[in-house]
Amino acid sequence: MTKQIHLAAHFPGVNNTTVWSDPRSGSQIDFDSFRHLAQTAERGKFDFFFLAEGLRLREMKGRIHDLDVVGRPESLTVLAALSAVTTRLGLAATVNSTFNEPYEVARRLASLDHLSGGRAAWNVVTSYDAFTGENFRRGGFLAESDRYTRAAEFLQTARELWDSWSDDAVAADQAGGSFIREGGISPFRHQGRHFDISGLFNVPRGPQGHPVIIQAGDSDEGREFAASAADVIFSRHSRLEEGRAFYRDVKRRLAAYGRGRDDLKILPAVTYVLGDTAQDAEERAAEIRRAQVSPQTAISFVEGVWGRDLSGYDPDGPLPDIEPDLDEGVSKGRAQFRGDRGAVAAKWRALAQEKSLSIRELVIEVAAPQTFVGTPASVADEIDTFVQTDAADGFIFVPHLTPGGLDDLVDKVVPLLQEKGVFRADYAGPTLRHHLGLTKETS
């Protein structure tokens, strides 16, 4: 059976994705930028609009890392404003489960679900580092082994709060003078390892019952968390074979939780470049890659792996001939430099030697690949192939320009997918759960 494709939009602004120095690039703060991208996504009948978020400014060698975009308004605030200028588009916010509390997050998400008419989504993320936590009064440390246990209990607690109101709790009986139906609200009591709270939740149940839950972890623990609790997993696997392997692995885990294959949508983050011909698209993609990886960005990226100050090296020259300092790090708050940096350095050396790559060319190769590059017709065909062969259920597109980076995709590729019959011509229902083919969560 032909599968229907799910599409979403990611407002760019983290790592080196955004070419903010491009003359066509707009503000990362002005509301008009958010509105343009969101309304473009809604014009394209996308499922949702997604905002990522960090809780601390990243640093490089003790300074704010300002080669990328620095600073942006808080996600739920932006999405609440967007709910007034969109009518069907889902609105997804990243909210951290390590440095927030369930009652407040549940309250804000339920409020967004009401304001938007049932379009709220929550990307549940965790933080592993004390560096980020220094911004918070708890002292800023949660053992990495505990971050998913807290996230799971956080989500469970939020669901208990949402479920403490019945769907018909608000009677608003003007004649009888009763606003709340008797028995419509139940006290909540949660006692667990991370949370011990009780009381009465103060926001009625939202139109979706629960906001859609998104998860982005790629570790084994993260995949298991997604299989047990998420509606969407935001994947980084955007190559065909690795996408199929990830898809199989995550989907097979669902049965253990009494869930079907369609209960969790797998949506990799991807980019695109269009051209009138394949050669034109490749040339444009190469230009964009070089804009994304400036000489300074290339050195900074290698410094993150080597753990050393490499400012004396030529970005158009070979990789450093010194070994990485695995005991120290020069980068803080940049998750891509976690893990076995020695193994990464060895892999990069082998790749650079095999292809005779300079530092900048190597970073372009490993950090700034374009996923879909070609004519509108070839990109539409490739998107469809990924979905029909179970490498994904759809994609979250991350454009390199703000705010007009999705215009070509919506105007030139989406109509071709609609002609193929694999993407909706219009929204079938009012809520994000309708768009994703998910049922309403009942209390």
- Among the listed residues 19, 2, 229, the one whose alpha carbon sits nearest the alpha carbon of residue 124: 229
Tokens of 179: 């606003």
* Neighbouring residues of 124: CB distance < 8 A, sequence distance ≥ 6: 95, 97, 151, 154, 155, 213, 214, 215, 229, 230
Supply the mean pLDDT for the chain: 91
Half-sphere CA count of 66, side-chain side, radius 13 A: 4
Tokens of 11: 């407002």
pTM exceeds 0.75, yes or no: yes
For the segment 314-372, what is each residue's pLDDT rounded down to a tens digit? 999 999 999 888 776 766 656 666 667 888 889 999 999 999 999 999 999 988 667 89
DSSP run (H or E) holding 173: strand 170-173
For the chain, 443 residues long, the average pLDDT of each consecutive 10-residue run is 95 75 88 97 98 81 74 92 98 93 97 98 87 72 81 96 94 88 94 95 96 90 92 89 95 96 95 96 94 90 89 94 80 66 90 96 84 96 97 95 95 98 96 94 70
Query: What span, in angstroms and rounded, lies between the C-alpha atoms of 185 and 176?
Result: 18
Query: How many C-beta atoms surround the C-beta of residue 397 within 10 A?
Result: 27
Query: What span, in angstroms and rounded, lies between the C-alpha atoms of 244 and 237?
Result: 9
Query: What span, in angstroms and rounded, lies between the C-alpha atoms of 330 and 217?
Result: 24
- Among the listed residues 195, 94, 214, 219, the one whose alpha carbon sits nearest the alpha carbon of residue 145: 219
Tokens of 335: 């998750």
Q: How far is the first Cα of the chain from the last one, in angstroms, to the nearest whole number?
A: 33
- Among the listed residues 143, 81, 7, 67, the one whose alpha carbon sits nearest the alpha carbon of residue 311: 67
